[in-house]
């Protein structure tokens, strides 16, 4: 069985900027008893703790370069080997490239595991732009223009489109409407995961 709470839920969450992905990731982690693992958080934690990997990441970022796949993969491999991820995890922000997809496949296969599902938050682009524009105005962020917001949406589509297609071919993608109240969206996610026999730990 792919992933009831007994065998652990191994999930990815993807969604455009402004779709509330971070908020839902935290809630899923709490409900399903798995760690939410964000590549950004991993980078920051390693840099802060000055681990050998963190020192490498800091030098790359300080130079204004992108962290290469090899280093990102190493950080993810290290994080997924930690005890709290033994029974499942929720990845946010990884994988981002085709090579990272292959690495994750091989990493999980080496442990006799596989992804349970990919939660894809979908939302009308114009509504997201409007939501983010209002937030920027409320927070006094004049640099967050409509053009800048639309550019981030384009980057998201360009980066994640091929990855979502890959996982869709495997039948792993669960599309969830990301617009609406946080609890409403959370209920939609639970219903989608339940259709794959993946349930909150409280209901196990």
- Find the catalytic residue in 44, 111, 134, 141: 141
CB within 8 Å of 126: residues ≥ 6 apart: none
- Find the catalytic residue in 10, 21, 27, 188: 21
Does the active-site annotation cover 125? no
Does the active-site annotation cover 27? no
CB within 8 Å of 15: residues ≥ 6 apart: 21, 24, 120, 121, 122, 123, 178
The sheet carrying 88-92 orders its strands as: 36-38, 88-92, 9-14, 117-122, 173-177
Q: Mind spelling out the 3-state secondary structure of 68-96? A: CHHHHHHHHHHHHCCHHHCCEEEEECCCC
Does the active-site annotation cover 170? no
Does the active-site annotation cover 141? yes
- Find the catalytic residue in 44, 111, 135, 170: 135
- Find the catalytic residue in 96, 131, 133, 150: 96
> Which residues form the catalytic set?
21, 96, 135, 141, 152
């Amino acid at each position: 069985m792919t992933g009831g709470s007994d065998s652990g839920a191994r999930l990815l969450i993807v969604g455009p900027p402004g779709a509330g992905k971070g908020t839902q990731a935290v809630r899923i982690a709490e409900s399903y008893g798995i760690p939410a693992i964000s590549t950004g958080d991993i980078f920051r934690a390693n840099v802060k703790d000055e681990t050998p990997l963190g020192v490498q990441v800091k030098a790359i970022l300080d130079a204004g370069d992108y962290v290469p796949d090899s280093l990102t993969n190493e950080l993810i491999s290290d994080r997924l080997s930690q005890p709290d991820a033994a029974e499942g995890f929720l990845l946010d922000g990884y994988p981002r490239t085709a090579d990272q997809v292959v690495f994750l496949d091989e990493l999980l296969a080496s442990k006799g595991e596989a992804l349970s599902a990919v939660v894809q938050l979908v939302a009308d682009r114009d509504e997201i732009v409007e939501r983010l524009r209002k937030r920027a105005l409320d927070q006094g962020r004049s640099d967050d223009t409509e053009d800048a917001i639309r550019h981030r949406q384009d980057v998201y589509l360009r980066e994640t489109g091929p990855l979502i297609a890959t996982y869709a071919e495997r039948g792993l993608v669960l599309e969830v409407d990301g617009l609406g109240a946080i609890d409403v969206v959370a209920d939609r996610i639970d219903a989608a995961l339940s259709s794959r026999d993946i349930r909150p730990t409280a209901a196990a």
